[in-house]
């Protein structure tokens, strides 16, 4: 199944925020394309981001990406995991995302949070990191923070609809 446009835009937002990000996309036709800051890559992350940002809003379909596999990261439940750090894309602006993080009791006080606004896509990219807590504690905080951001986005949409 082709990834939705918001999912692909989230991937493009990660391209601007995550150092050394590299991934392989599988297209609808079954071809694979490696995206990385490497001479052997088909596209650099900046070119991928630019292509997605320039994709016409009125286009009849989203970019035809079927799957994404990250290098050096595991992905679980929308959170990218690498030793000592977690990354996710929040559908909220930076201020709303930061408010969700401040209100998230599951984030250990020894975890550092960084929120980067992405005005091109109207999203925020969050990095949670720590060299003082174990990976499980970092996971707990990241999953709770991601869920809080998604919940706030859904509640906001419901408020706007009523």
Entry pTM: 0.93
Helix axes 45-53, 5-17, angle to 10 degrees: 140
Q: Where are the beta strands (DSSP E) in the chain?
A: 23-27, 32-35, 65-70, 74-76, 79-82, 85-90, 112-118, 123-129
- DSSP annotation of 2 reads P
Per-residue pLDDT tens digits for 5-34: 899 999 999 999 999 999 999 998 889 999
> Is residue 41 within 8 Å of residue 67, measured between CB atoms?
no
- Note the CATH number of domain 78-161: 3.30.70.60
- Segments in the chain below pLDDT 50: none
pLDDT over 70 for what percent of the chain? 98
Per-residue pLDDT tens digits for 34-43: 999 999 999 9
| Alpha-carbon span 74 to 80, nearest angstrom | 6
Question: CATH 3.30.70.60 residue ranges in the chain?
Answer: 78-161
List beta partners, residue 79: 76
Place of tokens 């951001």: 149
Pairing of the two strands 112-118 and 123-129: antiparallel
Q: Residue 64: its pLDDT value, please?
A: 86
Q: How many CA atoms are closer than 13 Å to the CA of 17, on its beta-carbon side?
A: 26
């Amino acid at each position: 199944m082709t990834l939705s446009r918001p999912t692909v835009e989230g991937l493009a937002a990660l391209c601007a925020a995550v150092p050394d990000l590299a991934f392989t996309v599988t297209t609808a036709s079954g071809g694979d394309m490696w995206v990385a800051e490497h001479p052997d890559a088909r596209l650099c992350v900046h070119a991928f981001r630019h292509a997605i940002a320039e994709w016409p809003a009125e286009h009849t379909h989203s970019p035809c990406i079927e799957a994404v596999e990250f290098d050096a990261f595991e992905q679980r439940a929308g959170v990218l995991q690498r030793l000592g750090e977690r990354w996710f894309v929040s559908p909220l602006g930076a201020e709303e995302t930061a408010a969700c993080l401040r209100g998230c009791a599951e984030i250990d006080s020894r975890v550092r949070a960084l929120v980067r606004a992405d005005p091109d896509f109207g999203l925020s990219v969050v990095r949670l990191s720590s060299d003082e807590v174990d990976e499980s504690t970092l996971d707990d905080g990241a999953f709770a923070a991601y869920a809080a951001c998604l919940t706030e986005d859904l509640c906001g949409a419901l408020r706007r609809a009523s």
